[in-house]
A and B are shown apart, each in its own frame.
Chain A
Amino acid sequence: MKPPGRRAFSWSGAALRHTVLLATSVLVLLPFVWMVSLSLKSPGEIFQASFSVLPDQWHALENYTAALTAQPLPRFMMNGVIVCGAILILQILVCAPAAYALAKLRFRGREVLFALVLVGLLIPHQVLALPLFILAYQIGILDTYAALIFPFIVSPFGIFLFRQFFKAIPDDLVHAARLDGLSEASIVWRVMVPIAWPAVVAFAIFSVVAHWNDLFWPLIAVRSEELMPPPLGVMAFKNEEAGSDYGPLMAGATLIVAPLVVAFLFAQRWFVDGLSLGAVK
């Protein structure tokens, strides 16, 4: 049995920890709760001085119908799926072999290359926006899906993350695979990536969230409404038509975030499964 003093201490410690965690999560969740709450209310109620989470008068149906009909929201979401999906697939196709080379192959200049990856990690995307815009203009892909996708294909973060994970996989496994007759490419796709599945899932979450929510680059790269990903679409919609009609706008925002939340909840289960895959030995 634990001594009583220790027990009391760990009790207060746990209480403190939970208070801090609860307070932070409330802070993080508050805007979301507010957004969902507003999306359920009528225009009159939105501007009331008093605040309640649930509306007195349910205006949800009207708001969500407006969000889905007054603007091409489904189209925006489809664009989001296409762009994020293409980015993610291309990123993994590039990052996994690059990370494998940096983690497991011995060649001259490897450390320099890895240092460059780290530098790439430090450069904010916005810094590169102008050169990327000019590049996109020169090769004539402005205002296409390609313009939305190409700047993100090489992800220093993905290379870094995969490299760290691959490095933890024992060399002997690579040796065994070579003796079994796997080519280097097969080793990447049939041994490293399946073992590093938790890293792939984690990276997928980061990548999809970042590019689904990205407003900055789409604002630069596309003009046509039928190419716009969700945030840009909703923003354009707000400027043109909604004015201060916040109900449908919040309904639209809720619909945009919903797939991410659902996807994350699913991925989280995968994530845990992936981690319980167990030791490499």
Chain B
Amino acid sequence: MTFGVVLRDITKSFGPTPVLRGVSLDIAEGEFLTLLGPSGCGKSTLLRIVAGLETQDVGTVSIGGRPVDALRPKQRDVAMVFQSYALYPHMTVGQNLALPLRMRRLSKLQRLPLLGRVLPGTRALAGTIARDVAQTAAALEIDHLLERKPGQLSGGQRQRVAVGRAMVRQPEVFLMDEPLSNLDAKLRVAMRAEIKDLHRRLGVTFVYVTHDQAEAMTLSDRVAVMLEGELLQVARPRDIYADPEDRRVAEFVGSPKINLIEGRVREAGAVDVAGTTFHLDTGLGRGKAVTLGLRPEAFGAAERAGPGVITGAVRLLEHLGSDLYAHVDVPGQQAPLIARLPAEDDAGPANGGTLHLRPRLDHVLLFAPDGRRLRPAQARRIMPLPLREPA
């Protein structure tokens, strides 16, 4: 397997505050990897370290198999799309796209305003630059904007230009720092599909930073969940969702949030939870605390109270057309449980009424008090999947 980007023990502090605490990550060549985490967790800092715009205190970065720690940003063959787009406001779109090519293909003398034009070779090179700019602009459907300044463009158009400026010099690695977060919701979904398509067409490594789990889940081959400068889990999107390694990952991913219910082990194979008893193997000794994680869709309706059935009062019902979300107050729980029920169940629960929920035990995620995922020996549903091999 060849690696696009390899990070080893990257550590970074700004003054006394540690921002990255030993991040290690292997990103396969051609992979679409997303760094997902709340704002302020160090995602942008990590991306800037990969680009060479920031220096790590400890650790190494390799791109395409060679260490790049001593290389300047220009020499690393990476391109970046910034959240604020960072287009040059005084240059036209065409000049914005051409600049990275001019800086790479023309010599210092050839770039001089007047003299450069008469030097031998400049014309031919300028021709190839213009051709490449036109090609990129056409691919992104911004060819009619080339004469405009960034200030005259809409947000979506600026975003395309920013992608174009990264694309035009055909880098080995694409870095994107929340490129869609300044767009409105509808445009964001459309651009999401375009970025996915772009990745498919270019086939190069993408490292994408976002705090939006929908972007991470829909775009990525793998997602790296980051919190407070640490990677908690790196896995395929559906494993991040269904098989989180850590309680914080389970909480961060999924909307509505996962229900976390505190329980206590009654005896081997039985856990007391929210006024009832579940037949669950926890691997923990009697009397130990354990947290049960239940996604909203892990509940089914039950006829009556009993073992393995959670009973509570309906606080709120949310109809979303296809689904019905019931917020249920249960004994011993501060936050209400949120259960997703089929919309046809409309007839069943009523506001203020009593609801019986039977969690599907094979969907229960168990967490130790320190947040670690508990995996008792027998209950193995999902095997961790290997990295995607490049085609």
Q: Which A residues form the contact surface with B (CB < 8 A)?
A: 170, 172-173, 175-182, 186, 191, 194-195, 197, 277-281
Contact = CB atoms under 8 A, between A and B. Distances in A.
Given A180-B99, A194-B90, A172 B84 contact: yes
B86 A191 contact: no
B100 interface: yes
Contacts of A278: 89, 149, 151
Interface of B: 48, 51-53, 72-74, 78-80, 82-90, 99-100, 103-104, 149-151, 158, 165
Given A179-B78, A179-B80, A172 B86 contact: yes
B361 to A, nearest CB: 49
A170 B86 contact: yes
A178 B165 CA distance: 13
B118 to A, nearest CB: 21
A280 B89 CA distance: 6
Contacts of B48: 175
Nearest to A191: B88
Nearest to A194: B90
A186 B108 CA distance: 11
Listed residue (B51, B86, B99, B165) with the most chain A CB atoms within 10 angstroms of its CB: B86
Contact of B103 (A175, A181, A277, A281): A181
24 contacts: A170-B84, A170-B86, A172-B82, A172-B84, A172-B86, A173-B86, A175-B80, A175-B86, A176-B80, A176-B87, A176-B88, A176-B165, A178-B74, A179-B78, A180-B103, A180-B165, A181-B74, A181-B100, A182-B99, A182-B103, A194-B90, A278-B151, A279-B151, A281-B87
Contacts of A191: 88
Given A175-B53, A180-B100, A181-B103, A281 B74 contact: no
Listed residue (A172, A180, A181) with the most chain B CB atoms within 10 angstroms of its CB: A180
Listed residue (B48, B52, B90) with the most chain A CB atoms within 10 angstroms of its CB: B90
A172 B51 CA distance: 12
B89 A176 contact: no
Nearest to A182: B103
B50 to A, nearest CB: 11
Given A175-B53, A178-B74, 6 more contacts: A176-B80, A176-B165, A177-B88, A178-B72, A179-B79, A277-B151
A197 B89 CA distance: 12
Given A175-B48, A181-B74, A182-B103, A277 B80 contact: no
B90 A277 contact: yes
Contacts of A194: 90
Contacts of A177: 88
A179 B84 contact: no
A187 to B, nearest CB: 11
Contact of B53 (A178, A195, A279, A281): A178
Given A179-B74, A179-B78, A179-B79, A173 B88 contact: yes
Contacts of B99: 180, 182
